[in-house]
Amino acid sequence: MTLHLILDENVIEFAAKLQNHNDELNPTCGNLISEISKRCDIIYCTKQLFERYSHKLKILEQKFHEAAYIAKLLTHMAIQGKIKFEPDAPRLPNEEGIPPDDAYLVRLAVKKSCILVSTDCRLREKLESSGLIKKHDIQIKHPEEV
């Protein structure tokens, strides 16, 4: 089964560091990206989001050699068409419940009916408490759940 995904920047960062949000050694995010590249899953992102991935990885390459591998993997996936570039999605009604730095991810997840993959518990809590998960049928999963 093909999964349609949007990856939060934190997933890319933790993949490059081979760590989790507690800075503990944890290959979950790296393994997820590697598995996505092998399967027929699709990642949706905007050009701006892809540039954010690239910028973050470029910074991390100086300290974490895995960052270069993740950057190459994402580039290869884009060339293969496994990363689909989308224009920015329109604002949602009642967007106040979304953290401003994550609004573009949630908009894209709603527009494409994708699974939003994030390690950000705060984002999940905000979406649940605001009722946006139910209203827009948003699927948000931790990398271990994908």
List, for residues 39-93, the tens digit of each pLDDT value.
999 999 999 999 999 999 999 999 999 999 999 999 999 999 999 999 999 998 8
Predicted confidence (pLDDT) per residue in 104-120, tens digit: 999 999 999 999 999 99
Domain with residues 4-145, CATH architecture: 3-Layer(aba) Sandwich (3.40)
Q: What is the pTM of this model?
A: 0.93
Strand partners, 15: none
CA nearest 118: which of 3, 5, 10, 4? 10
Q: Residue 138 CA to chain centroid, in angstroms?
A: 14
Q: Domain locations in the chain? A: 4-145
3-state secondary structure of 98: coil
**pLDDT for the residue 96:** 82
CA nearest 63: which of 31, 20, 19, 118? 19
Locate 101 and state its tokens. 């730095």
* Rg of the chain taking only CA atoms, in angstroms: 15
Does the pLDDT value for residue 95 go beyond 90? no
**pLDDT for the residue 110:** 95
Does the pLDDT value for residue 4 go beyond 90? yes
